[in-house]
Structures are given as C-alpha cells and as structure tokens.
Structure 1
Amino acid sequence: MEHGGFRELKDVSYFNKVGIFLGAVTWPNYQDIAPETLLAGLRPEAGFDMAPTELEDSLERERALLLKEAKEALENLRRYKKTLKK
C-alpha cells in the first residue's frame, strides 16, 4: 500500500469506494487486487477449520453470486435508460 497508486487506498473514504469488476476487487482509479492474490495472502484464524478447497469453492460461489447481481443491476440500468428515451 506504500507504492504508487495504492497509496490512495489509505484514505478511508476512497477505500470505501471499492467494487468488483470481472472478479477482481477494484477502486475508481484502476487499482485492483486479483482473487488469487487475495487467496494467497489469507492466514488461518484460530478455530477456522475450513479446508483450502472448501474456501476456494465458497469464494467461487460468492463470486458467481456477485457476478449475477452485477448483471442484473446492469440489465435494470439498461431498462431504465430505455424509459428515459421515450
């Protein structure tokens, strides 16, 4: 977080503008963190007994759900834009 554009992420108000784009955690000025980078940096917590493959499966399901929600939001936006053109 000390390098280049990632310094902006120290600003809490900017950090909170986080989103998901193509499965990556992203911010408005094109900073992103790939899912595999997040997985590589995970540390087990005491009492956390999920196997790595279970964790990957869980994250994949979450990613698929977020992607579905993003597609639905985009479709809703397209429908809304059509109503404005009428």
Structure 2
Amino acid sequence: MEEQLREMGRDVLIPINKESGSMNAYFLEPKDDNLSFGVVSIWSDKETLDTMKNSERYRTLIQNMSPLIKSLTDRLYLTR
C-alpha cells in the first residue's frame, strides 16, 4: 500500500502538476522515521493551480488515493 501511494504521488501527481502549468514540482520521498510523502509545486498564479485542482484527472487521483491515506493536507502560500 505504501509503495502504491508513493508511485501515485511520484508517477501521477507530479506529471499532473507539470502538465497543468506548474513552474516546478517536487516529490518528497518518505523516510524511515516518517512514512509520509509530500509534493511541493510552484505556480505562477492561483488561477492555474485552481484549474489543475478542478481537473478530472486530479480529482480522480485524489479519489483513488483517499482509501489509502489518513489525511491530505493542502497549503497555499501566496507571494507578491
């Protein structure tokens, strides 16, 4: 199950971010003492990010991941 989640994050979520217009997207591998993984993506504007988050491909991925994860944290930091 953990490997399946890593593959979804690394092999599906990162490409979705990049194909949707993310300037950069990084996959943070889990460690032995912290099995959580992370994805950090950088966007030029919030509208492009929102478009990706509302896409069918992204929503399907999140639905497929939901039975496998305890929580999903989404943070947005805006800079000027």
- TM normalised by structure 1 equals 0.27
- TM normalised by structure 2 equals 0.28
Higher helix share: 1
Structure of higher CA gyration radius: 1
